[in-house]
Amino acid sequence: MNKKEVIQALETIAVYMEIKGENTFKTSAYRKAAQTLEQDERSLSEIQTPASLNSIGKGTAAVIEELRDTNQAQVLETLKSEIPEGLIPLLDLQGLGGRKVAKLYQELQITDAASLKQACESRRVRELSGFGAKTEEKILAALEDMGSRPDRLPVAFMLETAKMLEKEIKNLADVKRWARAGSLRRMEETIKDLDYILSVSVENTDPIRTQLKELPYVSEVIADGPSKVSLELALSYPVQIDFRLTDDDAFATTLHHFTGSKDHNVQIRQIAKSRGERVSEYGIENLETKEVTSFSSEEDFFHYLGLYYIPPEARAGTGETTMYQQPYETVERSDIKGDLHMHTTWSDGALSVEEMAEEVRSRGHEWMAVTDHSKFLQVAHGLDEERILRQIEEIRRVNDQYEDFTVLAGIEMDIRPDGTLDIEDEVLSRLDVVIASIHSSFSQSRTDIMKRLDAALEHPSVHIIAHPTGRLIGRREGYDADVQTLLKKAAKTGTALELNANPNRLDLSAAWLRKAADTGTMISINTDAHTPDMLDHMEIGTASAKKALLQKEQIVNTRNIEELRAFLQGKQERTKR
DNA sequence: GCCGTTTTCGGCCCGACTGTTTTCAGTCG
């Protein structure tokens, strides 16, 4: 078995054990082991002794080695023979966990979704102790939904939903301050539900809870208690929203708590515990004096624990609590000085060169590049050599209107399926910025794709490779690029790789960007805007770079115009040698 | 099952809400 399969098997063991009613610490030990393997960069053969890893002991190490060497593990085979496979998906049903599923199996011989449905319909489930009529109805409803609802939704969709919702939240009475929390605040690529923390200035939360339940599109109230309201919205997909109500003293710690991630919280609590303190959403309690300290901001909270402020995006539980014992500066939105990838009416954009320049400038940037599509992309009315030359003149004309702002002439040039570039060298050399992209023949072999990318990397005029994997989050995988090799070659040739800031893309992903720090590859955060509002995606791109813990120096956008020109010039000089 | 200059046994992050009970187990985040 390879590493992925071993990780999968360990997680399966944990799930089966859950139904078997094993000690929860035992099941979580298997989960932890799977996670440890996942977070280790090495392959299975490189990890010779799994037991040497943190939180993998003698027991799980033996299982891992058994899986690796024999493709199976006795403990898993035994579990499989004891527990029907059809029970596993039942754990995904809202309100059903290991214990309840076990009870259904043991007392009603339920083995899968079909037999569960039957048992509910014949009202046998409500007879079980710990179950009741309401539980039975909920199970039936959940069975109906099963399969029709994706587990997690792409961040782009959730950002839209969040924006819609926040217009309403702003108007709520008696809310002192509020914030996004959860995986959206951490800028995960896919999001399960939305979380908001509301600081309320009243004793009785009934009126505010009533307001929440009257929000648009609410189709169901999942939970409604003094400090928590959970709703389901009927949008194009059902979306769950959790509101936490808190007083202002606990706001910062509540926000931290519900921003997570879970693993991050566990690490924070362990730190506190080692100091004789306990962290909860209400503050930090001294276990001896029982005194609870509260904080006015997350910054203060982290400082109290001897840490520097960890940005939400970086709270993954993958070592940031160690890393931020020293100061560590990731890129911030305020470091970004410009945008190198956008479209105008010359190809498939919505605004003219001049209008786009005004939009970018109004966002406080110092420079930008116009990069329309090249002629291969006919559907986008891509530019041929003759139109490029005319557009350069237009761009120079607009640029001359500004003293404090620079508009560069660029192109987003296609790399054709045969590995040739779409625009003649002579014209390319007249442009300030050349971005190379793959928009066709996604199903080519890895060798062919890499040949195409190599052609761009090695060309003296190509500065950036756009959306390097071609993926669309939740919709398509992209083409088969060898990203590790791409990162190295880009670093070697002085070519930047794009972090496409469009939330549908986020390409390269934060996971790959994190590797870019090791290879020393330059990253350009580009909005690829086709409309003015898409220019605001820079915020999202920067958050993704932050998630990867990229630093200012590695990001093209943090340069002023002189430094930017030096970078662009550098590619030509380097490849000429 | 894992882990340990407070420990080789006895802990393991913490709390809200629901639905079932009649004080709490189970689920969830």
- Which positions of strand B lie within 7 Å of protein CB atoms? 1-3, 6, 11-21, 25-29
Rounded to whole angstroms, the distance from the CA of residue A105 to the C1' of nucleotide B26 is: 16
Q: What's residue A269's pLDDT?
A: 86
Element (H, E) at A240: strand A238-246
- In 3D space, the residue among A299, A236, A42, A187 whose CA is nearest the CA of residue A543 turns out to be A187
Is the C-beta of residue A132 closer than 7 Å to nucleic acid chain B? yes
Q: What's residue A555's pLDDT?
A: 97
Is the C-beta of residue A225 closer than 7 Å to nucleic acid chain B? yes
Residues forming CATH 3.20.20.140 domain(s) in chain A: 333-576
Largest CA distance in chain A: 82
Rounded to whole angstroms, the distance from the CA of residue A190 to the C1' of nucleotide B6 is: 43
Rounded to whole angstroms, the distance from the CA of residue A551 to the C1' of nucleotide B7 is: 42
- In 3D space, the residue among A335, A372, A395 whose CA is nearest the CA of residue A525 turns out to be A335
Q: Tokens 């190198």 map to which residue?
A: A340
Element (H, E) at A270: helix A262-274
- In 3D space, the residue among A489, A379, A373 whose CA is nearest the CA of residue A434 turns out to be A373
Rounded to whole angstroms, the distance from the CA of residue A273 to the C1' of nucleotide B5 is: 17
Paired residues of A175 in beta bridges: A200
The arithmetic mean of pLDDT across residues A502-515, rounded, is 94
Does the structure show a pLDDT above 90 at A129? no
Parallel/antiparallel/unpaired status of strands A406-414 and A283-286: unpaired
Which nucleotide is at minimal CA–C1' distance from A244? B16
Is residue A74 within 8 A of residue A62, CB to CB? The reply is: no
Q: Tokens 């100091």 map to which residue?
A: A275
Rounded to whole angstroms, the distance from the CA of residue A107 to the C1' of nucleotide B10 is: 33
Parallel/antiparallel/unpaired status of strands A283-286 and A277-280: antiparallel
Rounded to whole angstroms, the distance from the CA of residue A100 to the C1' of nucleotide B11 is: 26
Is the C-beta of residue A57 closer than 7 Å to nucleic acid chain B? yes
Beta-strand runs (E) in A210-314: 218-225, 228-234, 238-246, 277-280, 283-286, 292-293
Q: What's residue A27's pLDDT?
A: 87
Which 8-state DSSP code applies to residue A340? -
Task: Give the integer Cα–Cα distance in Å for A354 and A347.
Answer: 14
Is residue A492 within 8 A of residue A485, CB to CB? The reply is: no
Residues forming CATH 3.30.460.10 domain(s) in chain A: 153-246
Task: Give the integer Cα–Cα distance in Å for A221 and A232.
Answer: 6
Rounded to whole angstroms, the distance from the CA of residue A26 to the C1' of nucleotide B11 is: 13
Q: What's residue A575's pLDDT?
A: 64
Which nucleotide is at minimal CA–C1' distance from A103? B26
Model pLDDT for residues A189-224, shown as the tens digit of each residue: 999 999 999 999 888 888 899 999 999 999 889 889
Backbone angles phi, psi at A254, to 5 degrees: -65, -45
Q: What's residue A469's pLDDT?
A: 96
Which nucleotide is at minimal CA–C1' distance from A56? B2
Cβ-Cβ contacts under 8 Å for A171 (sequence gap 6 or more): none
Rounded to whole angstroms, the distance from the CA of residue A88 to the C1' of nucleotide B12 is: 26
Q: What's residue A39's pLDDT?
A: 77
Which nucleotide is at minimal CA–C1' distance from A57? B2
Q: What's residue A10's pLDDT?
A: 92
Tokens of A376: 């291969």
Model pLDDT for residues A540-559, shown as the tens digit of each residue: 999 999 999 999 999 999 99
Which nucleotide is at minimal CA–C1' distance from A258? B29
Is the C-beta of residue A570 closer than 7 Å to nucleic acid chain B? no
Tokens of A444: 């080519």
Is residue A564 within 8 A of residue A345, CB to CB? The reply is: no
Least confident span in A142-151, A154-163, A328-337: A142-151
- In 3D space, the residue among A161, A176, A314 whose CA is nearest the CA of residue A252 turns out to be A176
Does the structure show a pLDDT above 80 at A151? no
Q: What's residue A388's pLDDT?
A: 97
Does the structure show a pLDDT above 90 at A576? no
Tokens of A349: 């954009």
Task: Give the integer Cα–Cα distance in Å for A304 and A11.
Answer: 36
Q: What's residue A513's pLDDT?
A: 94
Measured distance between the N- and C-terminal CA atoms of chain A, rounded to whole angstroms:
46
Task: Give the integer Cα–Cα distance in Å for A171 and A173.
Answer: 6
Residues forming CATH 3.30.210.10 domain(s) in chain A: 257-323
Beta-strand runs (E) in A358-447: 367-373, 406-414, 433-437
Does the structure show a pLDDT above 80 at A573? no
Which nucleotide is at minimal CA–C1' distance from A23? B1
CATH superfamily of A3-145: DNA polymerase beta, N-terminal domain-like (1.10.150.110)
Which 8-state DSSP code applies to residue A314? G
Which nucleotide is at minimal CA–C1' distance from A101? B26
Quick one: CA dihedral A524, A525, A527, A532, positive or negative? negative
Residues lying close to strand B (Cβ under 7 A), chosen from 526-545 of chain A, are: none
Rounded to whole angstroms, the distance from the CA of residue A98 to the C1' of nucleotide B18 is: 17
Is the C-beta of residue A182 closer than 7 Å to nucleic acid chain B? yes
Neighbours of A483 (CB within 10 A): 20
The arithmetic mean of pLDDT across residues A423-435, rounded, is 96
Task: Give the integer Cα–Cα distance in Å for A148 and A88.
Answer: 17
Neighbours of A455 (CB within 10 A): 17
The arithmetic mean of pLDDT across residues A396-403, rounded, is 97
Task: Give the integer Cα–Cα distance in Å for A573 and A297.
Answer: 49
Model pLDDT for residues A229-273, shown as the tens digit of each residue: 999 998 888 899 999 999 999 999 999 999 998 888 888 888 888
Residues forming CATH 1.10.150.110 domain(s) in chain A: 3-145
Task: Give the integer Cα–Cα distance in Å for A11 and A5.
Answer: 10
Is residue A330 within 8 A of residue A275, CB to CB? The reply is: no
Is the C-beta of residue A135 closer than 7 Å to nucleic acid chain B? yes
Residues lying close to strand B (Cβ under 7 A), chosen from 88-127 of chain A, are: 91, 93-101, 126
CATH superfamily of A333-576: Metal-dependent hydrolases (3.20.20.140)
Q: Tokens 């500004």 map to which residue?
A: A402
Which nucleotide is at minimal CA–C1' distance from A126? B20
Tokens of A437: 């992209």
Closest residue by Cα to the C1' atom of nucleotide B18? Answer: A223
Instruction: Share the mean pLDDT of chain A.
Output: 91
Q: Tokens 């490029």 map to which residue?
A: A388
Is the C-beta of residue A151 closer than 7 Å to nucleic acid chain B? no
Note the residue count of chain A. Answer: 577
Which 8-state DSSP code applies to residue A423? S
Q: What's residue A464's pLDDT?
A: 98
Model pLDDT for residues A263-308, shown as the tens digit of each residue: 888 888 888 888 888 888 889 988 888 888 999 999 999 999 999 9
Is residue A278 within 8 A of residue A298, CB to CB? The reply is: no
Q: Tokens 């307001």 map to which residue?
A: A211
Task: Give the integer Cα–Cα distance in Å for A545 and A539.
Answer: 10
Is residue A509 within 8 A of residue A497, CB to CB? The reply is: no
Task: Give the integer Cα–Cα distance in Å for A85 and A79.
Answer: 10
Tokens of A449: 């794709």
Range A153-246 has CATH code 2.140.10.10? no
Is the C-beta of residue A256 closer than 7 Å to nucleic acid chain B? no
Residues lying close to strand B (Cβ under 7 A), chosen from 268-307 of chain A, are: 269-270, 273, 276, 278-282
Tokens of A459: 């060309």
CATH topology for A257-323 is Beta Polymerase; domain 3 (3.30.210)
